[in-house]
Structure 1
Amino acid sequence: MPEVSTPVPRRRLCQNRHVLKLFFDCRYTRTQVHDGISRFTASLVEAAAEQADVTMLISDPEQLNLLPDLAHLQISSPTSAREPWVARQINPHRPDVVFSPMQTMGGRGRNYPLILTLHDLIYYAHRTPPQDLPALVRLGWRAYHLSYLPQRLVLNQADAVATVSETTRGLIREHRLTRRPVELISNAPPSVQRPRDPAEAPRRELIYMGSFMGYKNVESVIAGLNRLPGYTLHLCSPIQAPREAQLRALARDPEQLVFHHGISDADYRALLRGGSALVTLSAAEGYGLPVVEAMAHGTPVVLSDLPIFHEIGGAAVAEAGAQVVPGNDPEAFARAVRRLEEPGTFARASRAARDRSLEFAWSDSAAALVDLGERLASHGQAARKS
């Protein structure tokens, strides 16, 4: 039997109207250190709880380490054989709507509206799955991405589809992945009340936050680092030993590489507030949450020349707060980093990055989610009455 916990609410919701009863799938939250989906989940669910009556769906109590103190319901794992019929565990609790930050949540037999999220279409071009998944799941991953048909079937079981960027929304429409409405529920940075001082000279440190899968193109970042003596590259995410050895072998001076194997939020903030730039030369992204996180602190970014990075960077690209370079041009990458050695250039880039980041907010994303949930819930109630 699923376990439910209901702590005292930390928010005051309007008592004069129906408050949306939103169940939020948090089963992809990590237990110790966030990855992108995990951070998206934790940030959005906390903001949504200010605007709706939220219950978090978890599969492991350890996930609560990285989640806000909200009501939660423990159900089966999203990789369980029970997943297609997970609605059987949720239906008795009568949610107004269920939101999943992934597109894989089962929906058979549900009696509630369901919102699924598609962050990107990366794995149609780069089919290698994460190596920490079970072998059977990796095999299914590859098969799933051989054509768009499975994706269409999954997305069309929902009542609406969410995505995190206009770039991905355009791709969803281009490939006709769903007949459902596609709503924008964007990523956003954490609130940073006091960004770094743009006039303060940065340390010659570069920061990389992300996975080490092939499409992330970390190899090109290291090739650029080889042209930047005196710089250190901090690689913040967990990494398996064989992959770390591969990357170390690419560096002319391995001492320039610092592998953190996962990093605390406090240590990550310290890197962002002192380093020259956050860097990524990824070959594909659905959004790039570390990019806006860095910009929120006033930290410039050096990025591969992708449509999504132009979308996120916005005016900061034109004002050099976000520099975009060809992803496979290490020399162009090194030149972009060296430009930031000029105090005036760094200060302008820092201010432009910070200004752009203020155009994104989790409260706005939560408002978009709650508005969509209320529309779906109202439609469902009207349908049941007719």
Structure 2
Amino acid sequence: MDARFTRMDHHDGISRYGASLMAAVAPYAEVTMLIHDERQLALLPALPWVKINSPLSPLELFVARHVNKLGADLVFCPMQTMGSWGRKYPLVLTLHDLIYYEHPAPPGFLPAPVRVLWRLYHKAYWPQRVLLNRANVVATISHTTLALMRKHKLTKRPVRIIGNAPQTERTPRDPSLAPEKSLAYMGSFMPYKNVETLIRGMAELPDFTLNLLSRITDERRAELEALVPIGTKVVFHNGVTDAEYDELLLRTTALVTLSKAEGYGLPLVEAMALGTPVVVADTEIFREVGGEAAYYVPADSPHDFAAAVRALDSQEKWAASSTASVAQAETFSWDASARELLSIAQELGSARPGAACH
């Protein structure tokens, strides 16, 4: 399993997805992780590993030469960019979303040459088709993304859902205990995330604190601070640990996001698993993840956002939402995702009891 997209200090969405899926598959098959830097091991399960080139290296074109030597029965990559020229093994590539066709600004952490290629790549769908058609099977994480893939005819290969899920062994909060008057946002500050509307909505929530948890550049922070209404409380944490994140989720009123585009929305299901209600933009993917438990509002309406938060001022409504959130989160499972990947391996004729997954 390709673990080279794992971060070295803290997980992002794809990093957590890959690491969690590897841990879930390990009880059922012999798993070897492919890494490119030993610092990645701090965020990965304790499994056998092999160090190869970075996925951003020009050597990625020839990565199959190294993987062939490992005798892999199946290779799973949590992205769609893994090199495949000359491969001698079945390959599963993953497409998480199509966000960057509508919102083409690349993530800031990518090197400048990669950001240029990123923009060019997302100007048309044919490069995506070329990448995906190299696989035996294409994985995605939601029915929403699957529908978009079919709409744009992105691949001729079979497409299967290997979904995201919350972390295991997390104890939900007691719904009878009133939450503190705070809100939590976990996500990047790219324009499509629409954090501006959250901040504007705080004008009608002066007794609440909005906690913006993710790391942020000084420039972007200055842009958002200029929008904070006078007399409101907005806190920029500039990154929190997993433990700090869980601790806040266990006492806050709600997790909030008005993002206009997502492939899944992992923060939603993480919050719901702990019994924390979610107030989110009314989008197809959030409807898929949040089900009947979430509060949905128009993405560009600060007033409707504030009204949804105010509805949770009622302890009775908050407790009911907390209970419903836990039930909704339980519909997602890493074990189910692991079993789906193993099913794919078996269908490709490459997996047997004790067979290796790389």
My pick for the range that moved more, 327-336 or 221-230, is 221-230
Q: Find the aligned partners of 1:357 and 1:221 in 2 and give their Cα distance.
A: 24
Shift of 1:259: 1.8
How many residues in Structure 1 have an aligned counterpart in Structure 2? Answer: 352
Shift of 1:291: 0.4
1:75 to 52, 59, 70: 52
Contact 2:90 2:350 in 1 (8 A): no
Residue ranges of structure 2 left out of the alignment (5+ in a row)? 352-358
Q: Which amino acid aligns with 1:360?
A: F
Shift of 1:226: 2.3
Higher RCO (CA < 8 A, seq sep 6+): 2
Q: Find the aligned partners of 2:349 and 2:327 in 1 and give their Cα distance.
A: 36
SS in 2 for 1:258: strand
SS in 2 for 1:82: helix
For 2:15, the equivalent position in structure 1 comes to 38
For 2:162, the equivalent position in structure 1 comes to 185
SS in 2 for 1:365: helix
Does residue 1:353 correspond to 2:330, yes or no?
no
Does residue 1:57 correspond to 2:34, yes or no?
yes
Q: Find the aligned partners of 2:275 and 2:49 in 1 and give their Cα distance.
A: 35
Superposition pairs of residues 98-137 of structure 1, within 5 angstroms: 98-137=75-114
1:344 to 316, 319, 330: 316
Instruction: Please report the RMSD computed on the Cα atoms of aligned residues, expressed in angstroms.
Output: 1.4
1:92 to 62, 69, 80: 69
Contact 1:97 1:377 in 2 (8 A): no
For 1:366, the equivalent position in structure 2 comes to 338
4+ residue segments displaced more than 3 Å:
none
TM-score (norm: length of structure 2): 0.96
Q: Find the aligned partners of 1:376 and 1:315 in 2 and give their Cα distance.
A: 37
Q: Which amino acid aligns with 1:365?
A: S
Q: Find the aligned partners of 2:22 and 2:350 in 1 and give their Cα distance.
A: 21
Write out per-residue CA displacement over residues 101-160 of structure 1, whole angstroms, 9 at most, x where no aligned residue: 011111101000110000000000000001121111000000000000000000001111
TM-score (norm: length of structure 1): 0.89
For 1:232, the equivalent position in structure 2 comes to 209
The percent identity for this pair of structures is 54
Q: Find the aligned partners of 2:113 and 2:208 in 1 and give their Cα distance.
A: 41
Shift of 1:254: 8.1
SS in 1 for 2:204: coil
Shift of 1:79: 0.4
Distance 1:129 1:267, change over 3 A: same
Distance 1:192 1:255, change over 3 A: farther
For 1:333, the equivalent position in structure 2 comes to 305
Q: Which amino acid aligns with 2:44?
A: L
Does residue 1:204 correspond to 2:181, yes or no?
yes
Residue ranges of structure 1 left out of the alignment (5+ in a row)? 1-23, 317-321, 380-386
For 2:135, the equivalent position in structure 1 comes to 158
Q: Find the aligned partners of 1:345 and 1:159 in 2 and give their Cα distance.
A: 47
